[in-house]
Amino acid sequence: MNNPIIGIFGGTFDPIHHGHLACARYVLQHCHLASIRLMPCHLPPHRATPGVSSIQRAEMVALAIADEPQMQLERLELNRAAPSYTVDSLQQLKAQYPYERLAFIIGMDSLQYFTKWHKWQQILTLAHLIVCQRPGYSSATGDAPALLRQYGGSLLQLSQQDAGIIYCLDNPDFTPSATFIRQELATNHQAQAMLVPAVWQYICQQQLYGC
Ligand code: ATP
């Protein structure tokens, strides 16, 4: 029998929203993972440093998943001063979980430029990639077609191999994006519908995003 697969869901989570949670729940339901660890990055390598600290973003993740027994907060990147390279985190997680296999979860927007990620080929030696469809992003553009030709595989292959399969989910659209939420908060001070209530309360208490 193959070793269980742990999902790693990395992101800025600035803030964590219903789209992230729907994506994680869908992956748990369809890919038979043991659990998913949500890993907020400290310094994202591919974008500007968020205005909200990594500690606060991690606290919001913890609040959002409090009632999700198969999801845990992964704090690994929070204490690292250097940019949060996924390859380094996966290497550390491999050492921490020697008997499990890893699947890194991303949205289709991230697959578009995956070959720009630091040591992306090495990432595929350490983990599978599970790709969630995302409104406005297609598997026919950017890096996706070439990557899927070379690494694309089925759920069965994902369950049988140790790493290196890119598996695209057939999920419905999950909204929103954190960018949209930050804009709504800055302009209207409203975004409750897109956030877990405890996260919304935290944002108001800490007066984040211009609230
Ligand atoms: P931003 O708008 O600030 O870029 P985001 O909403 O994309 O933020 P991130 O924390 O950057 O959130 O996302 C982490 C991962 O979750 C990324 O791989 C992203 O593609 C994926 N993701 C985020 N929102 C969705 C969604 N609504 N549907 C599918 N995947 C999503």
Q: Is residue 211 part of a domain?
A: no
Q: How many domains does the chain have?
A: 1
> Per the domain annotation, does 145 fall within a domain?
yes
Which domain covers residue 169, as residue numbers?
5-206
Kindly report, residue by residue over 26-85, the tens digit of the pLDDT: 999 999 999 999 999 988 777 777 789 999 999 999 999 999 999 999 999 997 888 889
Distance 169 CA to ligand 1 centre (A): 15
Task: Give, in degrees to the nearest 5, the angle at Cα 130 between 126 and 136.
Answer: 135
CATH number of the domain encompassing residue 41? 3.40.50.620
Q: Is residue 82 situated within a structural domain?
A: yes
- Ligand 1 neighbours (beta carbon < 6 A): 11-14, 19-20, 23, 106-107, 109-110, 132, 134, 174-175, 177-179
**121 CA distance to ligand 1 middle (Å):** 22
* Ligand 1 atom at shortest distance from the alpha carbon of 135: 28
Nearest residue (CA) to ligand 1, atom 22: 107
- Distance between CA 171 and CA 158 in Å, rounded? 17
The model carries a pTM of 0.96
Q: Tell me, yes or no, whether 183 lies in a domain.
A: yes
**Residue 197 is assigned to a structural domain of this protein:** yes
Token pair for residue 156? Answer: 């069965």
> Could you check whether the bond before residue 172 is cis, i.e. omega within 30 degrees of 0?
no
Q: How far apart (Å, rounded) are the C-alpha atoms in residues 127 and 101?
A: 7
For the segment 177-191, the average pLDDT, to the nearest whole number, is: 93
How many angstroms separate the CA atoms of 62 and 149, rounded? 37
Distance 8 CA to ligand 1 centre (A): 14
**Rounded CA separation 174/19 (Å):** 5
